[in-house]
Amino acid sequence: MSENTNNNKEPLFSYKNKKLLSNPIGKNNPITIQVLGICSVLAVTVQLKPSFVLAIAVVSVMGLSNVIISLLRKTIPPRIRIIVQLTVIASLVIIVDQVLKAALYDVSRQLSIFVGLIITNCIIMGRLEGFALYNKPWPSFLDGIGNAAGYGAVLLAVGFIRELFGSGTIMNQQVVPAFLYEIGYENNGLFILPPMAMIAVGIMIWIQRYRDPELIDVS
């Protein structure tokens, strides 16, 4: 508490805090710039719905775990910090998993192991280690939400492309009109396969760096 009273009170959405939220969505995107958390992008993006649900799950886990670790940051002994972080993430993931099973059983079946694997998502551990351990709860929360949103945005984009071209549907609704099929259009099976997710992410990385040349030598 002493920290708060000593400093000039910072507004909740100061320039710095806004950057915490917006940077990971664009210029410092965990997937397209840091190339973390690729595994789930390849695995769950066949359709938009599971991608959407996983994105929400990661946002909630990441926001909360960042807050919790940030609150505990002065009491966690540095030697066992990793195991503490893991415990926090794991507990949150179990809660998310149970909620999914109760509310959206189909989707949780579809996501199968990838809800559990949120625990090993490199982005979450990375943000806890790199940010939440040294910052106050509110910025940590924003940072967590921002990074998860950056991750989720890519997930949604890839899910959208793959479902549109692979199955001709969006959110299980037929969007490619029937007359196109009649004149010979067909869904592309390549988009159902995981390699296409990688190509899609690669193209996103390409376009992003083409538009913003200062990103080119970052990684």
Partner 1 sequence: MKVIKNIRDKIRPHFAPGGKYEKLHRVWEAFDTFLFVPEKTTTGGSHIRDAVDLKRTMVYVIIALIPPLLVGIWNTGQQYYQAVGIDPTIQEAFVFGFMRVLPIIIVSYAAGLATEFLFAVIHNKEVNEGFLVSGMLVVLILPATMPLWMVAAANIFAVIIGKEIFGGTGMNVVNPALLSRAFILFGYPAYLSGEVYTYTKVQEGHQLVDGYSGVTPLSLVAEGQTEALPSDFNMFIGNMPGVIGETSFAAIMLGGLFLAITGVGSLRIMLSVFAGGIFMAGLFNILALNEYMMIPIHQHLLLGAFAFGAVYMATDPVTAAQTGKGKYIYGFMIGVITIIIRVVNPGFPGGVMIAILFMNVFAPLIDHYVVEANIKRRLKRLKHNQAILKK
Phi, psi of 44 (to 5 degrees): -105, 5
For the CB of residue 206, give the shortest distance to partner 1 in the complex, in Å.
7
d(CA 105, CA 129): 33
Instruction: Please report how close the Cβ of residue 52 comes to partner 1 at its closest, in angstroms.
Output: 25
Closest to partner 1 by CB, 134 vs 185, is 185
Instruction: Report the alpha-carbon distance of residue 71 to residue 205 in Å, rounded.
Output: 35
Q: How many C-alpha atoms does 147 have within 13 Å on its Cβ side?
A: 29
Q: Are 132 and 149 in contact (CB under 8 A)?
A: no
Comparison of 107 and 197: residue with beta carbon closer to partner 1? 197
Helices (H) and strands (E) in the chain, counts: 11, 2
Tokens at 9, concatenated: 């009170």
Q: How far is the CB of 113 from partner 1 (least distance, A)?
A: 25
* Shortest reach from residue 184's CB to partner 1, in Å: 5
Q: Which residues bind partner 1 (CB under 8 A)?
A: 184-186, 188-191, 193, 199, 202, 206
When the beta carbons of 78 and 213 are compared against partner 1, the nearer one is 213
Of 105 and 206, nearer to partner 1 (C-beta) is: 206
